[in-house]
Chain A
Amino acid sequence: RKEVEQDPGPFNVPEGATVAFNCTYSNSASQSFFWYRQDCRKEPKLLMSVYSSGNEDGRFTAQLNRASQYISLLIRDSKLSDSATYLCVVNPYNNNDMRFGAGTRLTVKP
């Protein structure tokens, strides 16, 4: 089983739609979780950290479910500029190591 698994998509949604991505991880001892965003042929950039209590940043909401070992990202009121690949990232060893999912591709259409 992969350390971090994501649905590769693609997700094609109209502007204004709400879209959600899930990501599962295999190591139950994982301590920290993140969503990164990667634009085509660019480097990944941190979108948001995911805390146990869940957190929200504008149109973006991240949730963690430790019992089922998954994290989610919800994007409300999608914008064209949200089109990108969203990478689920897990720190499985409580150090600085990170493990990346393969990414979920989102395309927001007018």
Chain B
Amino acid sequence: NAGVMQNPRHLVRRRGQEARLRCSPMKGHSHVYWYRQLPEEGLKFMVYLQKENIIDESGMPKERFSAEFPKEGPSILRIQQVVRGDSAAYFCASSPMFQSSYNEQFFGPGTRLTVL
């Protein structure tokens, strides 16, 4: 039973390029969350998605960042025109479909984005 999968594990981009980060949730999970972790800092919530729906994007920067979770395929976090300040580890997590405030979130290994 594969866990949460993220790819790529490491991504290097030059300023102004686009970064696409992919996340495949655990089998049977329909909720996906994206977090950003800057060096030596905690996890910052970015966005919470269900299939084809954005539930909460209150943590997403207003510009250049977008996320989707299509009916088929992985969730995508897209960063346009990257800047050096976007360099961070981006973690994806997933949780099961049933509603419970004690649902555990299972994390993927993260994508480490470096912007040159």
Q: Mark A residues whose CB is within 8 Å of B.
A: 31-32, 34, 41-46, 49, 87, 91, 94-103
Contacts and interface: CB of A to CB of B under 8 A. Distances in A.
A46 B43 contact: no
A44 B107 contact: yes
A41 B37 CA distance: 10
Interface of B: 31, 33, 35, 41-45, 48, 55-56, 89, 91, 95, 99, 101-105, 107-110
- Classify the interface of chain A: helix, strand, loop or mixed: loop
Which of A43, A97, A98, A99 has the most C-beta atoms of chain B within 10 angstroms of its own C-beta?
A43
A87 B104 CA distance: 14
A91 B95 CA distance: 13
Contacts of B43: 44, 87, 100
Contacts of B89: 41
A96 B110 contact: no
A103 B109 CA distance: 18
A25 B101 CA distance: 16
Nearest to B94: A96
Contacts of B44: 100
A42 B48 CA distance: 21
Nearest to A2: B42
Contacts of A99: 45
